[in-house]
Amino acid sequence: DVPDREGRVANVALGFATADDYVRDSPYFGAITGRYANRIARGHFALDGVEHRLAVNSGTNALHGGLKGFDKHLWKAEATDAKDGVALRLSRTSPDGEENFPGTMPVEVTYTLTEANELRIDYRATTDKPTVVNLTNHSYFNLAGEGSGSVLGHVLQLNASRYTPIDRFAIPTGEIAAVTGTPMDFTHPTAIGARIRNDFEQLRLGFGYDHNYVLDRPDPDDSGLVVAAVAIEPNSGRRLETRTTEPGIQFYSGNFLPGSYVGTSHRIYRQSDGFALETQHFPDSPNKPNFPSTVLRPGETYRSTTIYAFSTV
């Protein structure tokens, strides 16, 4: 629950009232998605000359780790000490060959709720064979409160002057394009719905916004925390700032919420009733040599941090 400018609290994350609902069917509400978040084209990639074929579970693509990705496993949970709040560490070991990904991969994800109204997520993984990894959190937000209706009036700013255009299969073409002069431009605060119905090919292909944005960094080699996005709900004054060590962020405007999910408010979620800001490496990176690498090798440690910071304006 997050307070508005008057101090009134509301749940700002879409989700279900019972665990059974998550097990039965969920569009990744609040999930850890992996071993590879987002899409891999045609469910295959080559690594060190070896072809790996994954389950195709979204059209022609592998999505969010396959048929039984990280979101569909029971993780070990333990409370841990945090100097600036309370923390929960989740851990599991993804076995070699799980969903046809190579390598045994122990994973830890630590959630810290800080005294500054921040949710900090720290990811860590290792492997005993070369593999690919891309982890993210797939929370859907509505800063007016879940179940309150459309997020199209939220004002969004992305620290990204470029994005990766997609083809008709929702896979990046490999191009890194400027947002300038297009409805993809959120470099200045703009309502999510201001241009979502414009006649623009990328909006048609994504059924709205479902695109990876390339974050602007003063030093491209610096992988420290950077502000990726700021979202504000004007009526409540709630503000969400997203910071990350990742090179990209997937802005998703909830285009495929079908009107069949009943949330914790006992109200139905419809299209664009929530938005996601998924910090990540780029979709289909294993098949795109010009994208930042997602390869993890023995002796290396995958680390990633994302912070969702809540405040008011």
d(CA 254, CA 251): 9
- Tokens (6 digits) for 70: 């990280």
Q: Cis (ω within 30 of 0) for the bond into 162? A: no
Question: CB neighbours (10 Å) of residue 229?
Answer: 23
Cα separation, 275 vs 251, in Å, equals 7
Q: Which of 99, 233, 246, 278 is catalytic?
A: 278
Six token digits for residue 149: 């209706």
Question: What is the DSSP pairing of strand 226-232 with strand 177-178?
Answer: unpaired
The CA distance from 79 to 226, in Å, is 27
Task: Determine whether 146 is an active site residue.
Answer: no
For 80, 181, 262, the CA distances from 90, given in Å and listed in that order, are 10, 43, 27
Residue 150 near residue 273, CB atoms below 8 Å:
yes
Specify the DSSP element, H or E, that contains 206.
Answer: helix 201-206
3-state secondary structure at position 70: helix
* Distances 152 to 10, 92, 141, 147, 149 between C-alpha atoms, Å: 18, 37, 12, 14, 9
Considering the candidates 52, 64, 138, 211, report the single residue annotated as catalytic: 138
Is 281 annotated in the active site? no
Task: Provide the annotated active-site residues.
Answer: 138, 278
